[in-house]
Amino acid sequence: ANLTYADLSYADLIDADLRYSDLVGAGFAAATFYGADLKWANLTYANLSYADLTNADLKSADLIDADLRYADLTNAYLRYVDLTNAYLRSADLTNADLFNADLIDADLRFADLTNANLGAVDLTNAYLYNADLTNARLNGADLTDADLRYADLTDAVFAWATVTNADFTGTTWSN
């Protein structure tokens, strides 16, 4: 489907099949995508603020410069997704699978990444100020120049992670 720059704010897209869709710049503010299939969708510049993407499959989707403020991505499948420069402030990514995702320059301030799989994720220059990464798995992640000030890293796993110049000021490591 080609929904480039369409405004579908508040739309009910539960279990929708939007694989390979062109959704560049589309407005999906507060839309419901529960269980939707968005594999390989192009959501560059899309507005998904406050959207419910619980259990959605976004494998290999392009979300470059997307607005996901306050979005609910609980249990979302985000492997190989490109979230470069995405705005994920206060997003809920609890139990999300972001293996091998690109989050370069992403804004994850106050985001909840509890139990998230962040293995092999590129978080270069990402902004994770006050984010909750409790029990997150960051094996092989690249956190070069990342801002993790005041983040909660209780029981997070960093095996083989690169943390060159990352800022851990005020970070919580355990209870």
119-135 pLDDT, tens digit each = 999 999 999 999 999 99
Question: What was the pLDDT predicted at 87?
Answer: 98
Answer yes or no: is pLDDT of 175 > 70: no
Quote the percentage of the chain above a pLDDT of 70: 99
Distances (CA, A) of 105 to 93, 99, 124, 144, 168: 17, 17, 6, 11, 17
Write the single-letter amino acid at 89. Answer: R
Question: What was the pLDDT predicted at 1?
Answer: 79
Answer yes or no: is pLDDT of 138 > 80: yes
pLDDT (tens digit per residue) in 22-65 = 999 999 999 999 999 999 999 999 999 999 999 999 999 999 99
Question: What was the pLDDT predicted at 174?
Answer: 80
The Cα 153–Cα 129 span in angstroms is 12
Mean pLDDT of the chain: 97
Distances (CA, A) of 54 to 31, 97, 166: 11, 12, 30
pTM comes to 0.97
The Cα 68–Cα 162 span in angstroms is 26
Question: What was the pLDDT predicted at 54?
Answer: 98
Mean pLDDT of 80-90: 98
